[in-house]
Amino acid sequence: MRKLLILAALLLCAFPANAQVAQTGAGKATPGGGAASPTTWNPSDKGAGQTLTNGNLTLTGTTVEAVRSINPHTTGKYYFEVTLDAVTGDSQSTGVANSTFVVTTFAGNTNSAAIFYNSGNMLVGNVTALTIPAISVTHIACHAIDLTNGKWWVRDGASGNWNNDVIGNQNPANNTGGVNISSIVSGNMFAAGTSDSSGATTTINFGATAFTGTAPSGFGNW
């Protein structure tokens, strides 16, 4: 009996009752359900007129086509930022699209996407749902995407107001306001974007480096 008691004591020391198995690798969750390793644009899922560089994060256009992300999601809350490096026209656009989205057209010209143009238009299913002030070259468009509730917010940089309104009216953290995107949320959802023709360039940050702004509470990497 004494030997059994000693063995039991040793096992408790080695494996305490409240021990937890550490989560590591690609399965480790981040707030909102995002992957532990942030995604990139998908070089195998883009129009021929869109060129990827910088680890598939910088998108340069020669013709007006589109690209989707590698990682899709069906639910959850996500945040990413898009820097307008070089602007031509108003078709530098980024948002989310479902699996029926066609990359051989520009991102906003489809019924299967919710897309923000640098001109300030927020389109859902190719219909303008909201217009906010245009975002200029070198500025950063911050996106908060809530697939669970079918809502979307955009702001100009870290200090901008979500959907150009006060926090009491537009706040992703507590599901206040937001553009309704439920009509295009179906099955696998991808980040999607277009850089206009003639050398327009954008760089997206899915969370591989520090964000310029702070993601809303509960929102994770795409």
* Per-residue pLDDT, 36: 56
Superfamily of 38-208 according to CATH: SPRY domain (2.60.120.920)
- pTM of the full structure: 0.83
φ, ψ dihedrals at 172, nearest 5°: -60, -30
Q: What is the mean pLDDT of each run of 10 residues along the chain (222 residues)?
A: 43 36 30 65 94 96 91 97 86 90 79 93 95 94 98 97 98 98 96 86 95 97 94
* Per-residue pLDDT, 108: 66
* Per-residue pLDDT, 165: 98
* Per-residue pLDDT, 16: 35
Distance between CA atoms of residues 48 and 69, nearest Å = 15
Ranges of each domain in the chain: 38-208
E strands in 99-221? 113-117, 121-124, 127-131, 140-146, 151-156, 179-180, 189-194, 201-205, 220-221
* Per-residue pLDDT, 172: 98
Residue 206 in contact with residue 40, Cβ under 8 Å? Answer: yes
**In sequence order, what are the beta bridge partners of 86?**
201
